[in-house]
Structure 1
Amino acid sequence: MAEARDPAPSLAEEIAVRLRDQVTGGTLVPGQRLSEARLAAELDISRNTLREVFRLLTREGILRHEPHRGVFVAVPSMASILDIYRVRRLIEVPALAQAWPGHAAVARMHAAVARAKELQHIPDWRGVGSANMEFHAAIVALTDSPRLMQFFAQVIAELRLAFGLLNSPELLHQPYIPRNAEILGTLEGGDPAGAARMLETYLHHSERAVMEAFARLG
């Protein structure tokens, strides 16, 4: 019997990935209105395809539709941020605890740490944030689960929306550059359980910092 294969992604799904990546990279920011005509022309797709993209990303919580006004990049709530961190702990900590230090995704973690260190000297804090997102995506890639990696891509896109609301990206991202390097070193030293414990503490501190900064916005 031939092995079953996952169906190829549709054009709308491929474009949704591209727009989600723009959110993760900080190009699309919370509250930004998306022009259907301009975006369809830029992406060289029909408006019908773009509307399907909008529906997909609205279901993920990355976009929102306002009747008679259009489509906007979503603005996260405090409740959604708390839920994002809950999900991160459930996915990232076990992924790291069970990781093989020789896994190919460790090279991605290295590259992300190096990129963040390089960008902090420019400084380019939005770029540092993107490198940090890549570091955590690489942690999930240690699981070798395409479905988990796809789901996590949605989670970090929502997280990046929360980061985009904050006024002090340096204070948010700078402390985690050495912490990422420390977690990576512990993993490569043959102690994935120790690296996972460090990550759990890291996520707790990150959640608290984001929530405190988010609360000040109000």
Structure 2
Amino acid sequence: MTLSLSLADQIALELRADIIAGRLLPGMPLVEVELVKAYNASRNTIREALHRLGQEGLTRYVRNKGVMVRRLEREEVRDLFVVRRTLELQSIAQSGPLTAAQSEHMQNAIDATTLAREREDWRAVATHSLVFHQQIVGLMRSPLFDEFFAQVIAQLRLVFCAAPDEQRFQSPWLERDREIFTLLAQQDKPAAGEAMSLYLDDSERLSLALFNRP
């Protein structure tokens, strides 16, 4: 049974999507009066939506400034990669042969990443790569994991926004996503798992290095 979402839930999901797409960046204010007008919603509804985003680790309240998109701390980034390893590697280990729909969704994400890279739209490159990894977790066919991982992806997006050179930070991942997809399509789960493990090691190292900058 599918439960209908409240207006506050819908607004929270749209704002989360804006974070994943790189339209809302760390430190940006989420002004109540502007959101009331944008969504034609009551103040209470907007506050409920912002509260949900706060529970997801995407916003924080700053005294005298209001609600702002969060900047994550180094230890939070470490924790995100603990979650990524648990979910993405387990998804690969438990996966069966890719269905036509699964294969199509992954290929679409890779194609979108490729097009964004050709356009040198590095923000979109990051977004579509994250969508590919959502498809990996989707192999478990668990709506609960899908929803949880969407929150993780949104937090990761806030980390990636901190990269001073988006092209340099994002350019390595497309070919590695494509390699993982090819191995899964070939039903070589051990090699796909190893490729994913190395991918996550390198991604974590580069993400943590963002906190070493002066």
TM range (shorter): over 0.9
Aligned to 1:13: 9
Aligned to 1:176: 173
Paired AA for residue 92 in structure 2: L
Aligned to 1:135: 132
Aligned partner (choices 18, 21, 34) of residue 38 of structure 1: 34
Aligned partner (choices 13, 17, 23) of residue 19 of structure 2: 23
Unaligned runs of 5+ in 2: none
Aligned partner (choices 157, 163, 170) of residue 154 of structure 2: 157
Paired AA for residue 117 in structure 2: Q
**Deviations, residues 3-35 of structure 1 (Å, cap 9, x unaligned):** xx3532222111111110100000000000111
Distance in 1 separating the partners of 2:154 and 2:113: 18
| 1:76 and 2:72 aligned | yes
Unaligned runs of 5+ in 1: none
Distance in 2 separating the partners of 1:6 and 1:48: 25
Sequence identity (%):
35
| CA apart distance, 1:118 | 1.2
Paired AA for residue 60 in structure 1: E
* Greater mean alpha carbon deviation, residues 84-93 or residues 110-119: 110-119
Report matched runs for 1:196-215 at 5 Å: 196-215=193-212
Partner secondary structure for residue 60 of structure 2: strand
Paired AA for residue 105 in structure 1: Q
Contact 1:126 1:169 in 2 (8 A): yes
Contact 1:91 1:140 in 2 (8 A): yes
Contact 1:166 1:214 in 2 (8 A): no
Superposition TM-score, scaled by structure 1 size: 0.94
Paired AA for residue 159 in structure 1: L
Partner secondary structure for residue 154 of structure 1: helix
Paired AA for residue 191 in structure 1: D
Contact 2:98 2:184 in 1 (8 A): no
Distance in 1 separating the partners of 2:123 and 2:192: 26
Aligned to 2:164: 167
Give the ranges of 4+ consecutive aligned residues of structure 1 lying more than 6 Å apart after TM superposition: none
Distance in 1 separating the partners of 2:97 and 2:28: 41
Distance in 2 separating the partners of 1:106 and 1:122: 24
Seen in structure 2, the aligned counterparts of structure 1 residues 214 and 105 have a Cα distance that, compared at 3 Å, is: farther
CA RMSD of aligned residues (A): 1.2
| CA apart distance, 1:197 | 1.5
Superposition TM-score, scaled by structure 2 size: 0.96
Contact 1:31 1:73 in 2 (8 A): yes
